[in-house]
């Protein structure tokens, strides 16, 4: 690790931007409990200190990337060089304004869905099982139960790589299936505003409860995992194809295709990113050979091997 990383780390601590870790294993910060070290991991206290951290990172000409709550993320075993910004508790404000809700990027999607339901606002029920943060959900246009973020997002405040902060409309976010502008143009979500509708509190609560029960019965939530591993191909489901191919329970190292849901890979203990990637490659090859379908990862793979 070069001296500029240490120097930046000390400057960030002196500037009191928030929590700063050096050479921190990202396995401690992902839901898969997998991942090598970040040279520098920074968890800013708020929007202002996040912007300050990006300015300081730029001054040192150090590469940077962003994580949220670490779901839907596979960090390779070599970790991530440069600085990693963790957008979490510091950016977790939430304000309801009539049928709109303005919420910080670090806020829990599950908590937001529950809070909206209590307010009698409908539109977020699908998100009651998305384990990540608002920022990560906006970044990947997260969805479930036939809906996604693009249907309710009104605008998003983004801090771009050049230090400029812009408020983008839904259209400007260029949403598509599990993707957005931010996958091609580097930036950090600071906050998002969602447009909801008035609904019946009891009906919303019933939908959230039903979705929660379905997840509990069909998803391996008792083991470290990262959510769905592959995107669904048009007109089909990855889980159905993987199960039909007889791959449920197949294991490489500590990584196993869940016996409960075939589109989940679980960490049975000590799994490495290499185990997961080898298993993903095996699944893709098998599905291509058997059905001629090319499965594309839904999880974001980052870092060095």
**Closest of 103, 90, 38 to residue 64, by C-alpha:** 38
Length of the chain: 305
Residue matched to tokens 């910004």: 85
Strands 300-302 and 80-86, sheet pairing = unpaired
DSSP-assigned letter for residue 225: -
CA angle 265/271/276 to nearest 5° reads: 45
Q: Answer yes or no: 298 catalytic.
A: yes
Q: Answer yes or no: 228 catalytic.
A: yes
Reduced to 3 states (helix: H, G, I; strand: E, B; else coil), residue 46 is coil
Q: What is the dihedral of CA 183, 138, 107, 124, to 10 degrees?
A: -160
Which entry of 133, 228, 238, 258 is annotated as an active-site residue?
228
Q: Which residues pair with 83 in a beta bridge?
A: 40, 64
Q: Answer yes or no: 178 catalytic.
A: yes
Q: Tell me how far apart the 2 most distant CA atoms of the chain are, in Å.
A: 58
DSSP-assigned letter for residue 70: S
As given in the structure block, the two tokens for residue 139 are 């970044």
CA-to-CA distance for 251 and 153, rounded, in angstroms?
39
DSSP-assigned letter for residue 183: G
**Closest of 14, 57, 15, 11 to residue 38, by C-alpha:** 57
- Contact call for residues 257 and 251 (beta carbons, < 8 A): yes
HSE-up of 114 (CA within 13 Å, CB side)?
A: 10
* Long-range contact set of residues 4-7: C-beta below 8 Å, sequence gap at least 24: 4/60, 4/61, 4/62, 5/39, 5/40, 5/62, 5/82, 5/83, 7/60
Which entry of 178, 191, 238, 258 is annotated as an active-site residue?
178
Which entry of 125, 157, 191, 298 is annotated as an active-site residue?
298
Reduced to 3 states (helix: H, G, I; strand: E, B; else coil), residue 27 is helix
What amino acid positions are annotated as catalytic residues? 178, 228, 298
């Amino acid at each position: 690790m070069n001296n500029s990383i240490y120097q930046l780390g000390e400057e960030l601590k002196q500037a009191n931007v928030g929590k700063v870790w050096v050479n921190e294993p990202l396995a401690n910060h992902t839901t898969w409990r997998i991942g090598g070290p970040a040279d520098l991991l920074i968890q800013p206290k708020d929007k202002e200190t996040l912007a300050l951290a990006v300015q300081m990172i730029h001054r040192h000409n150090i590469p940077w990337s962003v994580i949220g709550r670490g779901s839907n993320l596979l960090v390779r075993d070599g970790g991530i060089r440069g600085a990693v910004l963790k957008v979490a508790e510091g950016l977790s404000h939430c304000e309801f304004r009539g049928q709109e809700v303005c919420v910080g990027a670090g806020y829990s999607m599950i908590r937001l869905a529950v809070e909206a339901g209590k307010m009698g606002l409908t539109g977020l029920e699908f998100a009651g099982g998305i384990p990540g943060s608002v920022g990560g959900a906006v970044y990947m246009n997260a969805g479930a139960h036939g809906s996604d973020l693009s249907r309710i997002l009104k605008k998003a405040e983004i801090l771009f790589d050049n230090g400029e902060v812009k408020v983008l409309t839904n259209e400007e976010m260029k949403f598509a299936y599990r993707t957005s502008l931010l996958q091609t143009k580097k930036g950090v979500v600071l906050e998002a505003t969602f447009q909801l509708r008035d609904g019946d509190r009891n009906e919303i609560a019933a939908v959230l409860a039903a979705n929660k029960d379905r997840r509990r019965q069909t998803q391996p939530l008792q083991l470290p995992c990262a959510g769905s591993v592959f995107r669904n191909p048009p007109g089909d489901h990855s889980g159905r194809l993987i199960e039909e191919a007889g791959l449920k329970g197949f294991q490489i190292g500590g990584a196993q295709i869940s016996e409960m849901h075939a589109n989940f890979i679980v960490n049975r203990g000590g799994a490495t990113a290499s185990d997961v990637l080898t298993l993903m490659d095996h699944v893709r090859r098998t599905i291509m050979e058997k059905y001629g379908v090319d499965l594309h990862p839904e999880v974001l793979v980052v870092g060095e091997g």
